[in-house]
Amino acid sequence: MSSHDVDTKMRKLPHGGKGCKVITLSNNKGGCGKTTLAIALYLFLLRMGYNCLLIDGDPQSNASQRLGIPETGYRGRRLSDLFTNAKNRKYVKSQMGIARLLHFKYLFRMTEEKVGKGIILPGEHFSGIHAKHAAELMDQSTLLNYFRDCINAYKPYVDFIIIDTAPALEGNHINELAVQVSDILLCPVDGYEAASGIHTVWRWIKKITSPTYLGSLPRPNMFFALVKLQDDMAKAEAKETADPMIRNQVFHCLKSVFGDFVCDTTVKEQVELKRITPMLGRKTNYQDLCEEILEKISNTNKPFFRVATDGNFDKLEELLEPMRKGAREGKDLTIHPVQFVGIKADRSGDVSDVAVPA
């Protein structure tokens, strides 16, 4: 299909609902479920009949790959191209054509309801570098205006724009832009490290939206979702690990500090999800969570940044500290003062030092 065909199809899409919402998945911690939740939410919203655009803001492009877009395919039609064309003002008008219209056969087959149109702007290995280069060429503030124009160009056609992002926020231009154009930030949390990660997200958002940075910018609302929780204690005890208990404590800590901003629906760890991630046509725990997220997004007017304080995050850190300590003591992570070249894990997960051969 030529770019022109896609462009025409995009323009024929029924208009998105009143007020398209931009949702970014974010956490400073890697591997905590951002991409899985991004895809789950995207597919859920499509099933509900909404038109959605998924932007893969992670140079690792996991979301694109899991949705069947190979790493090297569709050259010229990826997020990178948005940044390499940033100096070309005419590009905003023509960039509509670069996103891919996806046809989810399984979704169509498995549901009687009207399915929304799924569009994707795939990720690319160099997207971060291209974004950084564009920011240097035209300054971050002009790039933000350009990126916002691009996002606004999509808005009339979709009800939701979902942006998946890379971890490690500091200095990441794509993540910055995503947050600066977002209405909602969704932070998946899979344990105490990811719970601490949201403290970093909070400080970082305050910085990149502050008047002294690029001028005062609106801050997105924030919600937290607990994913990958193991709650089968018997199984956990058999495996002699305190980890699942710790993870459930994380839920209670977050809930006690941030109340309604924390989703009540938690997602259990499901072994099969480790293997098949696209979850096309499958009902998983993520479905119920997505229902709750949609409700929260639609009904919560209370903005997180007006309510939350540094004191809340201090309290959270205080509650998480015993877990960190417990985890340190539970696992023998003592590093002996020997010269070593690396660590070797055997199949039971025990870690041992590897000494440099004499």
Binding-site ranges for ligand ADP (CB under 6 A): 30-36, 62, 227-228, 267, 269-270, 273-274, 277
Give 32 or 99: the residue with its C-beta nearer to Mg ion. Answer: 32
Q: Report the partner that residue 165 touches, choosing among Mg ion, ligand ADP, none (CB closer than 5 to 8 A by kind).
A: none
Q: For residue 184, which of 61, 99, 305, 281 has the smallest C-alpha distance?
A: 305
Task: Tell me the per-residue interface mask from 264 to 283 with Mg ion, x by CB under 5 A, - otherwise.
Answer: --------------------
Shortest distance in whole angstroms from residue 232 CB to Mg ion = 26
62 contacts Mg ion (rule: CB under 5 A): yes
Shortest distance in whole angstroms from residue 187 CB to Mg ion = 13
Give 35 or 249: the residue with its C-beta nearer to ligand ADP. Answer: 35
Query: Of residues 89-128, which lie at the interface with Mg ion (CB under 5 A)?
Result: none
**How many residues lie near Mg ion (CB under 5 A)?**
3
Q: Report the partner that residue 273 touches, choosing among ligand ADP, Mg ion, none (CB closer than 5 to 8 A by kind).
A: ligand ADP
Do 159 and 102 touch, CB atoms closer than 8 A?
no
Task: Tell me the per-residue interface mask from 33 to 52 with Mg ion, x by CB under 5 A, - otherwise.
Answer: -xx-----------------
CA distance linking residue 235 with residue 246, whole number of Å: 15
Shortest distance in whole angstroms from residue 282 CB to ligand ADP = 12
27 contacts Mg ion (rule: CB under 5 A): no
165 contacts Mg ion (rule: CB under 5 A): no
Structure-token match 């305190």, residue found: 242
All residues at 6 or more sequence positions from 143 whose CB lies less than 8 Å from its CB, including other chains: 86, 131, 134, 135, 173, 177
Shortest distance in whole angstroms from residue 35 CB to Mg ion = 3
CA distance linking residue 295 with residue 287, whole number of Å: 13
- 24-42 burial, b at 16+ Cβ within 10 Å, e below that, comes to bbbbbbeebbbbbbbbbbb
Sort 343 into a burial class: Cβ within 10 Å, 0-12 / 13-18 / 19+. Answer: exposed
Q: Which residues bind Mg ion (CB under 5 A)?
A: 34-35, 62
